Amino acid sequence: MKRRVSATPALVKTYLDLFVNRRAYTLQSMRPHPESGRHYYYRPKERETGAPLLLTEKTISDHLEGKLTIGLYAINPLNQRCKWVAIDADYADSMDDLIKLQYQLTEDGVESALEMSKRGGHLWVFLAVPLLARKCRVYIYDLAQKMGVPVKGSGLAEGIEVFPKHDEIQEGAFGNAIRGPLGIHRGAKRRFWFYGADYTLEAQIEFLPAAQSDGRTTGPVHGRKRASTQHCKGPTGNRRSERTDREKPAWILHPRLCD
């Protein structure tokens, strides 16, 4: 018998702070399409008025508890900024490319969190303050070119996809959503976790704000103390990092992204 997963208000608040940059969202269909067999995403609407539903704490709680699966938008159209960047890769040897990017991000003083997915992985970067989507995209594209990582859509059928997918979006537009972490993928019928932490909601959420800079990067940061030394394992099983009892920034702001 599977243990029931419960999302506490504190977990929901932290998730909202980390991942929600606007209240518009999508839902993954519970039933597969009769022809393709895929579970597509759609924007939910109120039954009576047809108005788009806005993301609430209850919806996030249901997502974390596996009752539904949400998709999140990267860009807030009011300021064209993002609080995170996600790199999606689902082609052959895509995990190798994500690990290359994660290594180079670390060399730049930028920590990231690698999430499992159905066919590859998602590499998440959390920002100290919301940054312009255009600058986020330029930085990741430059990084991919430097590392020889293919980018989908640049004349290639396969490669990484960068969220946000647009430099900016107009008022009333949405852009492209990506599956919200830690929910259940309806097609795979399972939950995908972040590498580096135990497979519980509490451990995963606690791990994410602790994806910290190594101190070489300057700029506005949010500090947080770690309670103990932590050895984190990545997808290869190797020790990825060691964190000790000292003040370190929880998120970074890379100088190349500053206004």
Q: For residues 157 and 186, which has the higher predicted lDDT (pLDDT)?
A: 186
Whether 4 is covered by a domain: the verdict is: no
Name the pLDDT band for 235 (thresholds 50, 70, 90). low
**Overall average pLDDT of the 147-160 stretch:** 89
Is the bond preceding 164 in cis, omega lying within 30 degrees of 0? yes
Whether 234 is covered by a domain: the verdict is: yes
Task: Count the Cβ atoms, other than its own, within 10 Å of residue 241.
Answer: 16
pLDDT at 12 over 60: yes
**Overall average pLDDT of the 218-247 stretch:** 35
Q: With contact defined as beta carbons under 8 Å apart, do 14 and 64 qualify?
A: no
Whether 250 is covered by a domain: the verdict is: yes
pLDDT at 231: 34
Count of the separate structural domains present in the chain: 1
pLDDT at 9 over 50: yes
Dihedrals phi, psi of 64, to nearest 5 degrees = -65, -30
The domain that holds 92 is classified in CATH as 3.90.920.20
CA distance 33 to 36: 6
Whether 130 is covered by a domain: the verdict is: yes
**Overall average pLDDT of the 10-28 stretch:** 95
pLDDT tens profile 113-123: 999 988 899 99
Lowest mean pLDDT among 51-60, 189-198, 210-219: 210-219
Full domain range(s) for residue 117: 9-257
Lowest mean pLDDT among 71-85, 160-174, 177-191, 241-255: 241-255
Closest CA to 180 of 106, 96, 86, 95: 86
